[in-house]
Structure 1
Amino acid sequence: MKTIESILVPTDFSEVALSAYCYALRLADALDASVELMYSIPPTTSTPGYGTFINTLTSVINEEARNNLNAFLQRGIGRVNDKLHHVPRVSTFIKVGDLRFSIRRHVEQENNQLIVMGTKGRHDAWDDFLGTNASYLAGRAPCPVLIIPPNTEYRNIESICFATDLNDVGTFQAGEVLRALRPFEPKLEFLHVHTNDKDVTDFNINLLREVFDRPETGMRASFTNRKAEDVTGAIFAFAFEQNCDLVVMHRPDRPWFVRLLRKSNTREAVQRARLPLLIITARDLAASDLPTERNTTEQQSA
């Protein structure tokens, strides 16, 4: 997982978005990162004979969005200013186009290492089928996504609940999450929730213990197995019991038609999040900005 130097915060100027922005400011302060605020304007269609009117309307909407975005920027800083060691650098961006596409393209162009996004949770059955903006991004974003539930108060990340299905080897790269959050020196609470005693997994919790239970290195970790029918509910219940500040879930890479038909624990967790929820992929965990052995050798040769 790359060092977090730039955090993207999409906004619609709602209280939910403001809560996420305030959280991002506090996190950026702790990690010495910058924040990028982004607002997306829906595209206007061109109609024959109304070109001048459409252009004028687009210009007016853009100017209004710019004013609202600057006001939103100051509103967030004003809300948490007395809790900051220093005010992070905040940049603003206005995009024209679909919100989901605009976010993906922005991350690819600006190389953000993290998206922080508020969520209003699940509203109706359509959210189960189509997903919210937050659940969509958690499933497709080109970088880790941190979901902030409504009314979340920022806390330093001292304890992390790392939920695993014991089927993905990406779990063994959990140390990369610790590296990205190094200023907090958090403890890792590994959790596996199974619905059936006969569930078959690729590895077991004891193998995780062998890899991560190394107090001599300064790493603090615990390992828990739980049985529950409601996997998502059990994850957040455990996180609250252990007073965790962050829940981490690994998103497997699946074809779109499999995602459509198969229940996703990560998507459900986004819709039911009760604590800050970080969604990562194996690609995110494997990504690193540390010099490789080959690059180091080339630099020494130069």
Structure 2
Amino acid sequence: MLNVLVLTDFSNAAYHAARYTCHLSRSIPVKRIILFHAYQSVAPVVLSTVANNASKEELDREYTDMLLDMANQLEPESHEDTAIDLLTEDVQLDEVLNEICQREHIDLVVMGIGSDTQASERSSNAILVPEKASCPVLVVPESAEIQNIKHVVFATDLRELESPAYNQITKWLDLFQSKLDVLNVDEEEKEFGAESFFEIKELHNWLDKYKPEYHYSNSKEEGNAIVNFARNHKASLILSLPRVRSFFSNLFHHSITKEITYHSDIPLLFLHEA
């Protein structure tokens, strides 16, 4: 069963991501949902009543009370066997995230991205957290419908992937048991010719058991291509294994960020190759 760390700054977007996670616990096996607030993190508190000069003990009590109130609201939406735990620490999120994930045996980190005045900052966090995290990260737009994951789009650039990467992909596809579309994005303009033969064959060897539909795009704007494809095919989740920052920077380029933040209802699950 999964342990899920939900990052919260007590914003509407964070609360929506937590609700989404609770609903998810009804369709996949989630043992624990940990609501985590880092009050000196890259995602600052927006709804705190604590004075700036409050002591660490006062801050801990205040934020724990806020987390408890949040947990009480969320409990009816989660599976009855899923525990909701609370965690608040005086830390910089990006410096301790992996330590917390290791300590708490986290399988998935969840964060929200919103459409309010702090949207641009959360967009930066949506790049930073998946890059820093050693485990999968689910980014949930505030406009995302709270629903079961029924249709996954797996976006890939057809580079050669090792077995650990495919093990990650199949683990989550096995959990979701959803319809699968595979979108191959030709970012290097290989045009899916002989040079891509091995990668395509390997992709089929690993994924054909899910009976996916395969699609190809040679768009130079891969972020736009992925998001637009997922939207047009009414996907409920985009899954990807971005290797380098350029993918994140492109996917969360200003125009794409605006689409995701203000218009898209598609959560994004970022996996890692090892």
With the length of structure 1 as denominator, give the TM-score of the two structures: 0.72
How far the C-alpha of 1:71 sits from its partner, in A, is 1.0
Cα deviation code 1:261-280 (max 9, x no counterpart): xxx12343256343110111
Contact 2:222 2:251 in 1 (8 A): no
Q: Aligned to 1:117, what secondary structure does the other structure show?
A: strand
1:203 partner amino acid? S
Is 2:215 aligned against 1:224? yes
Kept in 2: contact 1:250–1:266 (CA 8 A) = no
Partner deviation per Cα, 1:67-94 (whole Å, 9 max, x = no partner): 111112123335xx3xx55362100011
1:57-206 matched pairs, under 5 angstroms: 57-77=55-75, 81=77, 86=80, 88-120=82-114, 132-170=124-162, 173-174=165-166, 176-194=168-186, 197-198=189-190, 203-204=196-197, 206=200
Q: How big is the shift at 1:210?
A: 4.0
Distance in 2 between residues matched to 1:141 and 1:266, nearest whole Å: 13
With over 3 angstroms needed to count, the CA separation of the structure-2 counterparts of 1:154 and 1:170, relative to structure 1, is: farther
> Residues 180 and 97 (structure 1 numbering): CA distance in 2 closer, same or farther, change over 3 Å?
same
- Gap change, CA 1:148 and 1:210, over 3 Å in 2: closer
The answer (yes or no) to whether the contact 1:31–1:181 under 8 Å persists in 2 is: no
1:51 is aligned to: none
Task: In structure 2, list runs of 5 or more residues that go unmatched.
Answer: 42-51
Distance (Å, rounded) in 1 between the aligned partners of 2:12 and 2:5: 17
In the TM superposition, what is the alpha-carbon distance from 1:32 to its structure 2 partner?
2.2
Give the structure 2 partner of residue 39 of structure 1.
37
SS, match of residue 30 in structure 1: coil
SS in 2 for 1:223: strand
- CA separation of 1:90/1:181 partners in 2, compared to 1, >3 Å: closer, same or farther? farther
- Return the offset for 1:240: 1.7
SS at match of 2:181: strand
Confirm whether residue 269 of structure 1 aligns to residue 269 of structure 2.
Answer: no
Partner residue, 1:300 = none
Q: Give the aligned partner of residue 28 of structure 1.
A: 25
Query: Quick check: 2:186–2:192 contact (8 Å CA) kept in 1?
Result: no
- Asked if the contact 1:22/1:77 (under 8 Å) is kept, the reply is no
The one-letter code of the counterpart of 2:111 is M
User: What one-letter code is carried by the residue in structure 2 that aligns with 1:281?
Assistant: H
Q: Which moved more, 1:235-244 or 1:12-21?
A: 235-244
For residue 15 of structure 1, the aligned residue among 12, 16, 20 is 12
Evaluate the alpha carbon distance shift between residue 213 and residue 116 of structure 1 in structure 2; reply closer, same or farther with a 3 A threshold.
closer
Q: Give the total of aligned pairs.
A: 251
- Deviation of 1:42 after TM superposition, in Å, equals 2.5
| Aligned-partner Cα distance in 2 for 1:175–1:108 | 20
Distance 1:213 1:36 in 2: 32
**1:118 maps to amino acid:** G
**Percent of paired sites with the same residue:** 22
Which residue of structure 2 aligns with residue 244 of structure 1? Answer: 235
CA radius of gyration, larger in: 1
Superposition CA RMSD, Å: 3.2
Q: CA deviation at 1:187?
A: 2.5
Q: Find the residue that maps to 1:265 and give its secondary structure.
A: helix
Structure 1 residue 156: Cα displacement: 1.5
Q: Is the CA contact 2:240–2:270 (under 8 Å) kept in the aligned structure 1?
A: yes
Partner-residue secondary structure (3-state), 1:143: coil
Q: State the one-letter code of the partner of 2:181.
A: E
